[in-house]
């Protein structure tokens, strides 16, 4: 017996590796009418993993102090071998991660994959979306540039719209009345410790639920209209479905390649897409740039607060929208899973998307 076989046998005896591979990979089957949108969750995992790996490399050289942060990032770009590449992959990747997670959520919404018994999967996913945004917010400040300083000032100022507790919330986030070294310290701790731990934990629960319940059958295409009565728990399986390995895995790898191509295209040909000129100037709390605005994914709520005359009304509407979306699986009581057969919901879905895109474009000016 070769060494490798001996090791495999050692593991096999202890955890039943062959059975695990059979159940989870080679004999695992998924609905035949599954579409490419179902791979967005896996692309999000790949994107998140890239953020973790590149983040660890950046952490070796980054200094979380207002006097050194900007210089340490410049050092990573100029002096560290391939430092510029790791930083660009991390910075561009953070923006693409937001896009992928948002698209995954939209696709889950469109397929109504949140319906019973997958409400918990939705709730955990939604929490992960909020964590992803907090990840980006906290990371944005770390380079301590004019861009990061003032964008953070705007976003952390948004809670002041709440009466009574607003000012306290803003100060709590910042650790002082202004964005300062105290803010950098707590954002750094959030970004490299608390958020990764929380996100990995929630991801574990998300994946457990997906595998335990079984993937949902898309409501479109052959077999899409089949209904299952959920009166007691059972694993939703598809004995005559498409093999997960290698058929579906090949599609997921293809989508990850598309993701990587988009990322390297931006790094090579549009390197300043997500980093305007202010990103190259060190933070100066006494010099407000002419056009300050938050990161693009916060532009819609920011613009909404600017447009609605009452700040309180604006923030209340946003809170209601977030709460409705969070509890959506419990609010949508209709049996029909095909959104194309629900014109009111489809209209609302497209309308909300257009309003979001419109506010984002408007907020740019």
Judged by the rule CB under 6 A, the positions of this chain that interact with ligand HEM are: 38, 40-42, 44-45, 48, 101, 104-105, 108, 113-114, 118, 121-122, 125-126, 128-129, 132, 203, 206, 210, 215-216
Nearest approach in angstroms of CB 49 to ligand HEM is: 9
77 vs 213, beta carbon nearer ligand HEM: 213
48 vs 140, beta carbon nearer ligand HEM: 48
104 vs 174, beta carbon nearer ligand HEM: 104
Nearest approach in angstroms of CB 201 to ligand HEM is: 12
54 vs 121, beta carbon nearer ligand HEM: 121
Q: Are 150 and 288 in contact (CB under 8 A)?
A: yes
Other CB atoms within 10 A of residue 345 CB? 16
Output the CA angle 255-259-262, nearest 5 degrees: 135
123 vs 142, beta carbon nearer ligand HEM: 123
Q: Cα–Cα distance between 40 and 57 in angstroms, integer?
A: 26
Nearest approach in angstroms of CB 218 to ligand HEM is: 8
Nearest approach in angstroms of CB 58 to ligand HEM is: 20
Nearest approach in angstroms of CB 50 to ligand HEM is: 12
129 vs 292, beta carbon nearer ligand HEM: 129
Nearest approach in angstroms of CB 207 to ligand HEM is: 6
Nearest approach in angstroms of CB 85 to ligand HEM is: 24
256 vs 281, beta carbon nearer ligand HEM: 256
88 vs 216, beta carbon nearer ligand HEM: 216
| 210 CA to centre of own chain | 17
Q: Cα–Cα distance between 60 and 57 in angstroms, integer?
A: 6
Nearest approach in angstroms of CB 180 to ligand HEM is: 30
Q: What is the 3-state secondary structure (H, E, C) of the chain?
A: CCHHHHHHHHHHHHHCHHHHHHHHHHCCEECCCCCHHHHHHHHHHHHHHHHHHHHHHHHHHCCCCCCCHHHHHHHHHHCCCCHHHHHHHHHHHHHHHHHHHHHHHHHHHHCCCCCCCCHHHHHHHHHHHHHHHHHHHHHHHCCCEHHHHHHHHHHHHHHHHCCCCHHHHHHHHHCCCCCCHHHHHHHHHHHHHHHHHHHHHHHHHHHHHHHHHCCCCCCCCCCCCCCCCCCCCCCCCCCCCEEHHHHHHHHHHHHHHHHHHHHHHHHHHCCCCCCCHHHHCECCCCCCCCCCCCCHHHHHHHHHHHHCCCHHHHHHHHHHHHHHHHCHHHHCCCCCCCHHHCHHHHHHHHHHHHHHHHHHHHHCC
35 vs 310, beta carbon nearer ligand HEM: 35
Nearest approach in angstroms of CB 210 to ligand HEM is: 5
């Amino acid at each position: 017996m070769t060494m490798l076989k001996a090791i495999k046998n050692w593991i096999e005896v202890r955890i039943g590796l062959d059975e695990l591979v059979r159940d989870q990979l080679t004999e695992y089957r998924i609905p035949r009418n599954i579409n490419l949108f179902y791979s967005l969750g896996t692309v999000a995992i790949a994107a998140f993993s890239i953020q973790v790996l590149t983040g660890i490399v950046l952490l070796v050289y980054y200094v979380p102090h207002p006097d050194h942060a900007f210089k340490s990032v410049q050092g990573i770009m100029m002096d560290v071998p391939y430092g510029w590449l790791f930083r660009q992959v991390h910075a561009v990747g953070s923006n693409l991660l937001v896009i992928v997670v948002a698209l995954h959520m939209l696709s889950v919404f469109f397929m109504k994959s949140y319906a019973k018994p997958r409400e918990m999967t939705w709730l955990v996913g939604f929490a992960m979306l909020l964590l992803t945004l907090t990840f980006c917010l906290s990371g944005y400040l770390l380079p301590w540039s004019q861009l990061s300083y003032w964008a953070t000032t705007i976003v952390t100022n948004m809670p002041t719209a709440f009466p009574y507790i607003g000012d306290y919330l803003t100060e709590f986030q910042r650790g002082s009345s202004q964005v300062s070294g105290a803010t950098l310290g707590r954002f750094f701790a959030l970004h490299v410790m608390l958020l990764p731990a929380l996100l990995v934990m929630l991801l574990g629960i998300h994946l457990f639920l997906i595998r335990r319940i079984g993937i949902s059958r898309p409501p479109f295409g052959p077999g899409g209209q089949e209904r299952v009565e959920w009166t007691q728990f059972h694993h939703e399986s598809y004995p005559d479905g498409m093999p997960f390995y290698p058929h579906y895995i090949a599609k997921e790898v293809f989508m990850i390649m598309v993701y990587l191509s988009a990322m390297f295209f931006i790094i090579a040909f549009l390197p300043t897409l997500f980093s305007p000129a202010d990103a190259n100037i060190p933070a100066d709390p006494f010099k407000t740039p002419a056009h300050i605005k938050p990161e693009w994914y916060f532009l819609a709520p920011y613009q909404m607060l600017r447009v609605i005359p009452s700040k309180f009304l604006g923030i209340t509407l946003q809170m209601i929208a977030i709460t409705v979306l969070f509890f959506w699986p419990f609010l949508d009581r209709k049996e029909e899973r095909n959104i194309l057969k629900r014109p009111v919901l489809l209209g609302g879905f497209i309308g909300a998307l257009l309003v979001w895109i419109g506010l984002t474009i408007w907020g740019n000016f």
